Structure 1
Amino acid sequence: MSRGKFSLRRQLLTWLLIPQVILWVTGAVLSYGVATHYADRVANESLAQTGRAIARQVRDAGGHLELSAPVVETLGADRISEAKLFYAVSTVPGELIAGNRNLPEPPPPPVDTQESISYSDVEIGGVAFRLATLYYPLPKAANGDGRWLLVQVAKGMERHEQLTREILLVTALPLAALIVVMSWFVQWGIGRGLKPLTGLKSLMEKRDPQDLAPLQLADAPEELDALTQALNHLLTTTNENVARQRRFIADAAHQLRTPLAGLKSQTELAMRETTPEGLRDRLNMVHASATRSIHLVNQLLTLARSEPTNQTSMTQVKVDLAKLIRELTAESVPRALAAGMDLGCDSPLLEAQINGNSALLRELFVNLVENAIKYIPRGSSITVRLNQEGDRYVVEVEDDGPGIPDEQKPRIFERFYRVNQNDGNGCGLGMAIVKEIAERHHGTVALLDAQPHGLIVRVELPITPVEAAS
């Protein structure tokens, strides 16, 4: 099941905006806490001032306590009404001097002689109030008789909640505006950062499919520059492969044209022959031309199959080089004898295991032996050797023929190149096939001079761990 496409822009926005939203929510919670704290502080200070103001109005009137001035006059009627203020003034224990008897039970008085005040949230008649409980020391209490004045003041929470909202709005709204501005800048920055990708996309869409030139992207960021370099490397490799294939097709067409043209000419001449002997000679020439054409086609197919750019994966199996060399040498002995040559095998190794493609390796060594038989004179000798040198197997095919001049050795591995261009027996692909197959097996091939004369073709193949074929 294929995964759905995703947008890089949306992912970047998501992962950048989510932390901002979290920060905004956290900031809002902290702002609410700060607002509540300062609203409580303002309400508590107001209640404390009100309670002290009421306590200062208490006077001793002939053995009993009373308010020297009504609370309405002290605080103002409007203030009491707007704030929904309730109060109670009493002695400790239990003697109400003035105020509301329905206020909640106060906590016990302090043990020392210092003023004490505490705050709490209460409900009176189903309405929320902020309550301040003030223990105010009476003058006689200061002399040690233990009497306290208890003042309770309860104020409605409406003003408190309004103040909380005002503080929250003052802090949260600028923070929200800042988040909005930051989000816009983030989106703008992402769009600007991804703009080179859009440019690369537009460049690729406008490019001709046949244009494999490297991409030129101005002012590319470091990450996109790395992608561009990778694409340019791919385009360069593709261009080289296409050029190689075109060159191969052109060379193959050129090489096939000659034997096919000769085959056509021979068949036309054979059709005009009137004697059996002449017809037989022409048919022999037709057969020879057809044989050379088949050999050329087979070599071309082998070369195409051995190229590293071949899309078909090379199946690797366990190959015994020692056994393969002995078998190929034995198979080629009849042909060597027919050509008047001495072909032998020299291999001290009883077994030489490597990973490789058995068909391609067989083709490699067949080409080496056939080239030696084909291009050296009668009466020559050919020796095939197999040895191990360090972590590599070395196969050498040595002959005592005329050899190859040093100036021509670098060109031997070129396709369709022949030392003797007038020799019509070969097609110039054998050594190119040898080189391609050796390199595909991570090996090398070299040409050396034999002593006193002749040529040594040296193939080195790495000894790799044996793996079962898939």
Structure 2
Amino acid sequence: MQTSKRTLKQQLLKWLLLPQLVFWLVGAALSYGVALHYANTIIDGNLQQIGRALSLLISTTPAGVNVALPPEAARLLDSSQQGSIHYTIRDPAGNVVSSNTLLPLPGKTELSKLTAEPELYNAQLGESALRIAILRLSPANGPYPWLIFQTAQKADYRNNLSHQIILSIALPLALLMLATSILVWWGLGTGLRPLAKLRNLVANRKPQDMSPIVMPDAPDEVIQIADSLNELLSTTEASIARQRRFIADAAHQLRTPLAGLKSQTELAMRETSPEQLRDRLRMVHTSATRSIHLVNQLLTLARSEPGSQTGIPKVQMDLARMLRDITAESVPRALAAGVDLGCEIFVSEAVTEGNSALLRELFINLVDNAIKYIPRNGCITVRLLEDATHYRISVEDDGPGIPDEDKVRVFERFYRREQTGNGCGLGMAIVREIAERHGGTVELRDADPHGLIVLVSLPHHKPVQPPGED
């Protein structure tokens, strides 16, 4: 019994949930990056707007430049929620004219080249990392044509904001993934339930039970599997039935000749006269010959049945040559029976594919039956014709023929129209089985003016001609 460490449900869960986890991680990272980009854009814009607002609050005093911040603005700059805003205002020479924190200048930037468009850079002030916006603006009043405004905010605020963003994105996605995983697990369990039901039906079935598996409410895929199993069960049941029938027929048919053989040998053992003993032995020989013929017929029938083998070995053969050889081999038996046996082949070559031993048995049975059952001075003709798709082989005799009501019954096993002779009633059954195994048919027709025609049709199987050859 084959076992596997992985179930179908486990494999489906792996292929459904692992890509989902990867997509979740990629989506969370992309969402975090996009949100952080827009947050940084907004914060950098705020630093620029604060610098512009400071330029409007400058006033000139004898002591220098003073930034007059309203109380609300001062509280906003020192807000702990937004993070403190640091600023430094410099004159064109770079000297600090006002600040709440001395902010460092960018390393390679010339102050004279600054414009009203802010330049953003990162800097370190003590142990704090800062994000700084620097721009040049003309104040509303005062002695300076332009001033340099620096506004900054600690990176801690940005980091805290980014953490909040990732949490606000990741937590709903994690809950969504958990809910999706539960639904996938439940859905797979529900979807695979018909397979589990089918497995239980097969596992709990008795070996003798060949009845069809019925699952009307199952999905189409499971119904297709059940139909395939039903077809297998039907084929197996038919094969077992054929075997049982063969065994029963063989036992029934062999019982009588073997019992007669035993009786003849017992009588022969009691005989004292050499002449009577010779007669008994002649009967024993006749009974043994009949038994051998019956066994051979039974074995041929068993080989020719569809369920006897997964596939009979087939080769390409020439039916015309086979029929000529069989006719030639049967001529001595025909002459001994006082019958004229002839062969008419109307094709030069009749290539087909099949089992040569079984096909020989088929045609030998037909010729032997004709020789056996027509009167002396009769005539038998073996013919081979060809049409577009089949070879037509007929064995025609001018004997008494077979009535229409018996034409079907002669193909039944052990059916004999006459109880005389050495036949066992298997010849025509073997002929039909072999013909059907080769995709052919057998038909009985009346000959004109009297007699019987046994017509066998076998499909063509012409060899493939190599390209370029005529």
TM-score by length of 2: 0.90
Give the secondary structure class of the aligned counterpart of 2:411. coil
TM-superposed CA distance for 1:263, in Å, is 1.0
Counterpart of 1:14 in structure 2 is 14
Counterpart among 435, 438, 446 of residue 432 in structure 2: 435
Which runs of structure 2 are paired with 1:146-157 in the superposition (5 Å)?
147-157=145-155
Counterpart of 1:136 in structure 2 is 137
Counterpart among 392, 402, 405 of residue 403 in structure 2: 405
Counterpart of 1:304 in structure 2 is 302
Give the secondary structure class of the aligned counterpart of 1:160. helix
Give the secondary structure class of the aligned counterpart of 1:309. helix
Which runs of structure 2 are paired with 1:55-134 in the superposition (5 Å)?
55-61=55-61, 65-69=64-68, 75=74, 79=78, 83=83, 85-99=85-99, 100=102, 102-104=104-106, 116-125=117-126, 127-134=128-135
1:443/1:5 Cα in 2 relative to 1: closer, same or farther (>3 Å)? farther
Q: Please provide the CA RMSD for this pair.
A: 2.8
TM-score by length of 1: 0.90
Counterpart of 1:445 in structure 2 is 442
TM-superposed CA distance for 1:331, in Å, is 1.1
What is the rounded CA distance, in whole Å, between the counterparts of 2:310 and 2:291 in structure 1? 26
What is the rounded CA distance, in whole Å, between the counterparts of 2:320 and 2:71 in structure 1? 121
What is the rounded CA distance, in whole Å, between the counterparts of 2:229 and 2:141 in structure 1? 97
TM-superposed CA distance for 1:172, in Å, is 1.1
What is the rounded CA distance, in whole Å, between the counterparts of 2:42 and 2:329 in structure 1? 110
Counterpart of 1:238 in structure 2 is 236
Whether the 8 Å CA contact 1:110–1:116 is kept in 2: the answer is no
TM-superposed CA distance for 1:103, in Å, is 3.0
1:89/1:371 Cα in 2 relative to 1: closer, same or farther (>3 Å)? same
Which runs of structure 2 are paired with 1:315-464 in the superposition (5 Å)?
315-420=313-418, 422-464=419-461
Aligned letter for 2:450?
H
Whether the 8 Å CA contact 2:55–2:139 is kept in 1: the answer is no
Whether the 8 Å CA contact 1:353–1:463 is kept in 2: the answer is yes
What is the rounded CA distance, in whole Å, between the counterparts of 1:361 and 1:68 in structure 2? 117
Give the secondary structure class of the aligned counterpart of 2:307. coil
What is the rounded CA distance, in whole Å, between the counterparts of 1:375 and 1:109 in structure 2? 129
1:42/1:139 Cα in 2 relative to 1: closer, same or farther (>3 Å)? closer
CA-to-partner distance for each residue in 1:276-331, whole Å, 9 max, x for gaps?
Answer: 22222221111111100000000111111112222263222231211211111111
What is the rounded CA distance, in whole Å, between the counterparts of 1:75 and 1:8 in structure 2? 67
CA-to-partner distance for each residue in 1:362-401, whole Å, 9 max, x for gaps?
Answer: 1111100111111112221111111222232211111111
What is the rounded CA distance, in whole Å, between the counterparts of 1:22 and 1:108 in structure 2? 48
Deviates more, 1:341-350 or 1:46-55: 46-55
Whether the 8 Å CA contact 1:196–1:220 is kept in 2: the answer is yes
Number of equivalences: 459
Deviates more, 1:333-342 or 1:24-33: 24-33
Aligned letter for 1:120?
Y
Deviates more, 1:436-445 or 1:83-92: 83-92
Deviates more, 1:240-249 or 1:98-107: 98-107
What is the rounded CA distance, in whole Å, between the counterparts of 2:73 and 2:184 in structure 1? 59
What is the rounded CA distance, in whole Å, between the counterparts of 1:136 and 1:351 in structure 2? 108
Counterpart of 1:206 in structure 2 is 204
Which runs of structure 2 are paired with 1:167-186 in the superposition (5 Å)?
167-186=165-184
Report % sequence identity.
53
Give the secondary structure class of the aligned counterpart of 2:207. coil
1:90/1:225 Cα in 2 relative to 1: closer, same or farther (>3 Å)? same
Counterpart among 154, 163, 174 of residue 165 in structure 1: 163
CA-to-partner distance for each residue in 1:196-234, whole Å, 9 max, x for gaps?
Answer: 111111111110011111012242111101111111111
What is the rounded CA distance, in whole Å, between the counterparts of 1:200 and 1:344 in structure 2? 61
Uncovered stretches (5+) of structure 2, i.e. residues with no partner: 465-470
TM-superposed CA distance for 1:356, in Å, is 1.8
Whether the 8 Å CA contact 2:56–2:139 is kept in 1: the answer is no
TM-superposed CA distance for 1:128, in Å, is 2.0
Aligned letter for 1:89?
I
Whether the 8 Å CA contact 1:401–1:453 is kept in 2: the answer is yes
What is the rounded CA distance, in whole Å, between the counterparts of 1:293 and 1:109 in structure 2? 125
Counterpart of 2:28 in structure 1 is 28
What is the rounded CA distance, in whole Å, between the counterparts of 1:13 and 1:443 in structure 2? 52
Whether the 8 Å CA contact 2:210–2:237 is kept in 1: the answer is yes
1:50/1:296 Cα in 2 relative to 1: closer, same or farther (>3 Å)? same
What is the rounded CA distance, in whole Å, between the counterparts of 1:397 and 1:211 in structure 2? 45
Aligned letter for 2:91?
T
Whether the 8 Å CA contact 1:53–1:74 is kept in 2: the answer is no
